[in-house]
Structure 1
């Protein structure tokens, strides 16, 4: 019924707003006649009550659409009038095999009600440049998503880092015999302040790494990266250590040398791998303070 790919905007599906993607595997640009016929199918079926009019309509063709179709898309009201003018000669004989579909009042009403400002054209170049296509390109064509941006460490402590930071504060107290009222007191300490700042830098480097590759690669890539990193350091974590801070130091040293496979492994900086270990503590996979 003129629908190749449908995107439902709401849970009401075809009874709410939906978008239609008409996809063509063509070696040439989508022709003017084909564009009118394909969109004409939508008006015919909507007029017959098969579904409501789509909120947006996309022509998807590897080489795009011909220039005249581009011009119609750029002039929505001209496009609307052209459907009325060309229905009998161009569209009606091509909608149904061995039949001619007249321009009924219901079809006229559908053409009048449709929002022609929301007709678009996608070609292959535009599709591959869409950031949401990146995971597909990485998976099927071995495209390189590139390095993640450098993480930015907030000056103020954030709720998202509270768990591992709290564990480190306890470890500083354990090692030094001092009592700290909290992470702010540690940050003011001559010895432990720089150490904690380094850990926060690593944590937010890993957080930015996660955000970037969560959007630019298939979901299992990040899972695999973390699993390989975890198993690369798990035995060091489980070893006997004189105290918790030594465990942190040795685990982070080992993490720096782990080389996970795949594109994420190639782009993982040392501080990202070390920061991921703090994420393990933050998420409850292990605890720095045991």
Structure 2
């Protein structure tokens, strides 16, 4: 049978309330607009679920609230009005500033009436006022009635109701930064990494492994190559170094891509297997340091590591990881 990718929409629909909140937290953490993300759960959340902070001032600055609702049917109007009323009441009491964005995350969607209110901000505000006694007055704090007095009404009126929206499952799954959450929860394949982009000018972070290679070329030629420019007269070594830089930046792009996809443990596993796979070849006697480096490169290319990332860690990536080891002081090409 042909391979059919998992239906992540169905998997998200199967999450319970707490799991949905955690899933949305992982998703929000990868959104570049947030400096930090916090999950508020249980009593004392004051109408907040998942909060994305734009600044270090957190609740004293700009922030967004993701209200997660995992129901067996579409989110009802009364629930939506109650959640907005609760949040604005506690904001009125000085617990936090009013959010600059409010998102209902209801995997089964919101009902037609609530969708209409969201699409018409002034209508949403008026409906909240008109039904306050029904949906909010006795449902914000247990055994306490909160009247919509003049001060609270004015405070609510000043809020921008156009910042309310409902996030559909399709929108969640279409977000480019959703992959980490899908991987964390469902083991989703994050896909292949981008190819490395080799800068024309050597970067300072390259100097440790390039310095080792320059020393190895110098040992082979019985001379000193002070820098990359001095290598230009030796075409074979110049070409060799260019190849090693490609490998280094392929490994760098690989690491960055999967680290951004919250796969740190898999990266550690791959690096461990590469290190164990090449270390014995590295330690044996070689003609010189360049022969050692080349032998390690050949060994790295021939490895068959395991783990979730193995199929995407081709020879250039595995070879580039060895240059990362040199950068980190794990191995050296010169015999100690």
Q: What TM-score do you get using the length of structure 1 for normalisation?
A: 0.89
1:221-232 aligned at under 5 Å gives the runs: 221-232=266-277
Aligned to 2:189: 144
Aligned to 1:67: 112
Aligned to 1:183: 228
For residues 232 and 250 of structure 2, the distance between their equivalents in structure 1, rounded to whole angstroms, comes to 19
1:184-223 per-residue CA deviation (whole Å, 9 max, x = no partner) reads 2324422212111111111111111111111123322212
**1:48 Cα offset (Å):** 3.2
Kept in 1: contact 2:269–2:307 (CA 8 A):
no
Aligned to 1:270: 315
**1:138 Cα offset (Å):** 1.6
Aligned to 2:241: 196
Structure 1's unaligned 5+ residue stretches are none
- Alignment of 1:288 onto 2:327: no
1:218-263 per-residue CA deviation (whole Å, 9 max, x = no partner) reads 3222122212211111121122222111110111111112222222
DSSP 3-state at the match of 1:114: coil
Kept in 2: contact 1:92–1:103 (CA 8 A):
yes
Aligned to 1:110: 155
Kept in 1: contact 2:250–2:320 (CA 8 A):
yes
Aligned to 1:171: 216
Aligned CA distance change for structure 1 residues 27 and 188 (closer, same or farther; 3 Å): farther
1:1-290 aligned at under 5 Å gives the runs: 1-92=46-137, 94-96=139-141, 100-290=145-335
1:68-126 per-residue CA deviation (whole Å, 9 max, x = no partner) reads 33333333333333322332455435445566532112321331232323223223333
Kept in 1: contact 2:70–2:108 (CA 8 A):
no
For residues 48 and 91 of structure 1, the distance between their equivalents in structure 2, rounded to whole angstroms, comes to 15
**1:146 Cα offset (Å):** 0.8
Aligned CA distance change for structure 1 residues 219 and 117 (closer, same or farther; 3 Å): farther
1:142-195 per-residue CA deviation (whole Å, 9 max, x = no partner) reads 211111111122222222212111211111111022333421232442221211
For residues 137 and 232 of structure 2, the distance between their equivalents in structure 1, rounded to whole angstroms, comes to 76
DSSP 3-state at the match of 1:164: helix
**Greater relative contact order: 1 or 2 (C-alpha under 8 angstroms, separation 6 or more)?**
1
Which has the larger share of helix? 1
| Equivalent pairs, count | 290
Q: What TM-score do you get using the length of structure 2 for normalisation?
A: 0.78
Structure 2's unaligned 5+ residue stretches are 1-45
DSSP 3-state at the match of 1:92: coil
**1:35 Cα offset (Å):** 0.9
**CA RMSD after TM alignment:** 2.3
For residues 9 and 250 of structure 1, the distance between their equivalents in structure 2, rounded to whole angstroms, comes to 49
DSSP 3-state at the match of 1:263: coil
